[in-house]
Amino acid sequence: MFRLDGKTIAVIGAGSGIGRAVAVGAAEQGAYVVCLDVNTENAAITAATITGAGGSADSGSCDITNITSVREAIVSAASKFDRLDGVVCTPAVNVRKPILTYTSEEFDRVSGVNLKGNFHVLQAAGQLMTVQGFGSIVLFSSIRSIVTEPGQSVYSMTKAGIVQLVRTAATEWGEKGVRVNAIGPGVIETALTAPIKAQPEWYKAYAEKTPMKRWAKAEEMAGPTVFLLSDAASYVTGTILFADGGWLANDGRFSPPGF
């Protein structure tokens, strides 16, 4: 039930990081994967990696800040087999700054990609899937939808907003056979978190906050995502699956004596 044989899955953000890992993971479970990214060269590299390993994949362009680009990419992804079983959207940006110094332009940039961009994907995928009568949509939220820290105001706002988009879509499209969920990663080693990794004290502090005492690799997000795309999650909708190494379960960084 965890396999994706015969399914067409579109992964937006497949050119790098978590998106690439999810695309490869979905292909390993038997899916035909359409690797989409604003960087078409990187998307093509991911597709070539999949086909080189014996999988089935194609690539294309998708700019989630442009609704026309998103709609065209979604329709194109469904065209080969006249179906689209799953859509995953991973791109995000962040500007770490105090609220008092955040500019309007920075707010628009972060919310435009993280929130409006995900809305574009959700809407375009929903328009197709509600007509065909089936499908699974997976958006990427974060632990920052629940907890935050200084400098994360707009990013956290957008990640919380994604959860509410997912919940609302699940209530609107459930009767039409469309499931909508979110993944909530913890700290993942990607290009987005490279500035943290470059500062050993900061990097170590995040690792220590996690009960597993380490960061996650991008590949570790593939399994939870594939689960939500698969028939194993046929009764799972409107929720967020946290893959955070126990971050949200850990109240503080101090272990009392004897533990």
26-79 pLDDT, tens digit each: 999 999 999 999 999 999 999 999 999 999 999 999 999 999 999 999 999 999
HSE value, Cβ hemisphere, 13 Å, CA-based, for 63:
7
pLDDT tens figures, 135-194: 999 999 999 999 999 999 999 999 999 999 999 999 999 999 999 999 999 999 988 788
Chain centroid to Cα 117, Å, comes to 12
Task: State how far the Cα of 49 lies from the Cα of 118, in Å rounded to an integer.
Answer: 26
CATH number of 8-243: 3.40.50.720
For the chain, the domains span 8-243
Backbone region of residue 214 per phi and psi (left: phi > 0; alpha: psi in -120 to 50; beta: other values): beta
User: Would you name the residues annotated as active-site residues?
Assistant: 155
Token pair for 223? 């399994």
